[in-house]
């Protein structure tokens, strides 16, 4: 009897501990049919079986895939508009779109095209971030759009590759670590340069595909600085330069991770320097005012990092990440203009010198963090809200 009481007590303690780690609130219903998914090129490319097994468990409804031009065409193609040119490396991307289609995500993949090859810029440093030669950019876009038009049959196959219907131009173009130059002679030139790439992509994709694609613009970094425009100022520059797109995208990473859902709430409602989850409604309001139109909004990159060996700054606890992942999913569902939320990483990156990331829902070993299950709980909440 005493042993049974001790066992029962241990069970109650375990349940209490689990409850303390993750207390999932109930959110009010909303009109938004939010789709949630991931960006994780490394995991999907190196271990596709594991990635797609996790994707099924996580009930994904959307995927982003980075088309990093500098890696896909290290040397300049002889026939750059031809997707069969041997200088192009499309194998991993082909496999990704085939796997996506086989897992029910046909027409639910977005490509992000960015990162300049060394041969496509005259800059002598930081080449991957530089504004590329516009003709070279158009040629790359044409090759990608042709290959994933739904009509292209690669060598050795008898059926066309699945089509890709959503196209995002560049990544965080309002940040100098991703796009240069930001300023010339004291004036911001990045919005105008970005719009040249955006409108060129739209033109080339439209010429290559037999359907109406979705063009996603922005991919905006969370904040500005003296050398970089804020998301709101960058949008104003896009508007002035004649940006043409269908969806506006934003990356509302946290500035103070432990603040969770309130991060950003102390910012100005007229010209915030920082956009987080806590002031995302302000971003939506200002975007609508800037463009004079309520564009659908996609969160195309987002997440909270957790501690790991060699990485302890700018992180939250595993329990906090689990809570925040769940909360943010349902927070965005409450905002009808927000159609998609893309979490950065299913699995943490492998520790290495330089930049590596721990925003995954599982550790680099494959062990699940508490956020893995909280994500599943959140997607279940989303699907239930759609049924009812």
Contact 245, 173 (CB under 8 A): no
Mean pLDDT, residues 241-270 taken together: 97
Classify residue 89 by burial, with Cβ atoms within 10 Å: 0-12, 13-18, 19+.
exposed
Coil vs helix vs strand at 91:
helix
Cα–Cα distance between 308 and 305 in angstroms, integer? Answer: 9
Average pLDDT in the chain: 91
Whether pLDDT at 294 is above 60: yes
- Going along the chain from its start, the domains and CATH numbers come out as 26-387 (3.20.20.80)
- In angstroms, the CA 19 to CA 374 distance is 12
- 10-14, 106-110, 271-275: segment of lowest average pLDDT: 10-14
The SS3 of residue 223 is strand
- Tell me the percentage of the chain whose pLDDT exceeds 90: 85
Residue 351 has pLDDT above 90, yes or no: no
Nearest to 178 by CA among 111, 255, 114, 122: 114
Place of tokens 């490319």: 45
Report whether pLDDT(8) > 50.
Answer: no
Q: Beta strand 183-184 with 187-188: parallel, antiparallel or unpaired? A: antiparallel
Residue 270 DSSP one-character state: S
Name the one residue in this structure whose structure tokens are 């590759």.
161
Q: Taking residues 205-217, report their average pLDDT.
A: 98
Which among 347, 342, 370, 374 has a CA at the least distance from the CA of 358?
347
Cα first-last separation, the chain = 47
**Which pLDDT score is estimated for 381?**
85
d(CA 87, CA 77): 5
pLDDT at 4 over 80: no
Lowest mean pLDDT among 26-35, 150-159, 207-216, 318-327: 26-35
Peptide bond between residue 325 and the one before it cis (omega within 30 degrees of 0): no
What is d(CA 126, CA 99) in angstroms, rounded to the nearest whole number? 34
Distance CA 129, CA 179 (A): 5
Q: State the Cα torsion 256-174-198-93 to the nearest 10°.
A: -50
């Amino acid at each position: 009897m005493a042993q049974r009481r001790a066992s029962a007590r241990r069970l109650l303690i375990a349940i209490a501990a689990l409850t303390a780690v993750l207390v999932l609130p109930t959110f009010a219903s909303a009109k938004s049919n939010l789709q949630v998914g991931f960006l994780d090129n490394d995991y999907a490319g190196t271990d596709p079986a594991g990635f797609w097994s996790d994707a099924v468990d996580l009930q994904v409804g959307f995927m982003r895939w980075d088309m990093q031009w500098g890696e896909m065409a290290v040397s300049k193609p002889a026939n750059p508009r031809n997707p069969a040119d041997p200088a192009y490396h499309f194998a991993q991307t082909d496999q990704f779109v085939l796997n996506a289609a086989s897992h029910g995500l046909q027409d639910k993949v977005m490509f992000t095209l960015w990162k300049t090859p060394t041969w496509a810029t005259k800059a002598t440093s930081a080449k991957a971030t530089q504004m590329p030669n516009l003709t070279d950019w158009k040629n790359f876009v044409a090759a990608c759009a042709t290959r994933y038009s739904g009509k292209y049959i690669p060598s050795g196959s008898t059926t066309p590759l699945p089509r890709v219907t959503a196209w995002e131009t560049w990544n965080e173009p309002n940040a100098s670590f991703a796009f240069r130059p930001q300023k010339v002679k004291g004036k911001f030139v990045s919005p105008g340069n970005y719009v040249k790439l955006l409108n060129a992509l739209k033109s080339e994709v439209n010429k290559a595909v037999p359907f109406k694609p979705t063009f996603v613009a922005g991919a905006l970094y969370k904040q500005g600085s003296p050398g970089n425009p804020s998301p709101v100022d960058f949008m104003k520059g896009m508007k002035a330069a004649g940006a043409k797109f269908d969806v506006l995208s934003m990356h509302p990473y946290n500035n103070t991770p432990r603040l969770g859902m309130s991060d950003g709430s102390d910012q100005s409602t007229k010209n915030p320097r920082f956009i987080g989850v806590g002031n995302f409604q302000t971003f939506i309001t200002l975007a609508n005012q800037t463009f004079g139109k309520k564009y659908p909004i996609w969160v195309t990159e987002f997440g909270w990092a957790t501690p790991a060996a060699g990485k302890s700054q700018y992180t939250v606890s595993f329990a906090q990440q689990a809570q925040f992942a769940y909360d943010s999913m349902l927070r965005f569902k409450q905002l009808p203009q927000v159609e998609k939320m893309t979490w950065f990483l299913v699995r943490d990156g492998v520790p290495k010198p330089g930049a590596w990331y721990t925003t995954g829902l599982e550790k680099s070993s494959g062990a699940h963090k508490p956020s893995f299950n909280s994500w599943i709980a959140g997607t279940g909440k989303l699907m239930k809200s759609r049924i009812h």
